[in-house]
Amino acid sequence: MISLPDREALLAALEMPLAPVLNSLLSETVARAEVSGLLDLTYLLIVERDDDGDAIADEIGFSPFADPTEVAWQNWTAG
């Protein structure tokens, strides 16, 4: 997993030895974020083959695999 939480990390990642397709996607995404003025608000997470849902949730604070309606219901009924 490659976590790119801020401008500095995103720009540094452009110099990493990544697969050409990934490098191209990253370059395009960073360029679009910069042009739109959103680079300082951009957080990218590159999930690799061996990363599991728990590792992703630990990194970003939620699981992208969870049903958001179920999570909202659990939070609502717990509080």
Global pTM reads 0.76
* pLDDT on residue 66: 77
User: How many domains would you assign to the chain?
Assistant: 1
- How confident is the model over 26-71, as pLDDT tens digits? 999 999 999 999 999 999 999 999 999 899 999 998 888 877 777 6
Cα 17 to Cα 22, 51, 54, 76: the distances in Å are 10, 19, 26, 44
User: Residue 58's domain spans which residues?
Assistant: 2-78
Comparing 10 with 72, the larger pLDDT belongs to 10
Label residue 39 exposed, middle or buried (CB < 10 Å: 0-12, 13-18, 19+): middle
* pLDDT on residue 8: 97
* pLDDT on residue 73: 63
pLDDT of residue 5 exceeding 90: yes
Strand partners, 2: 46
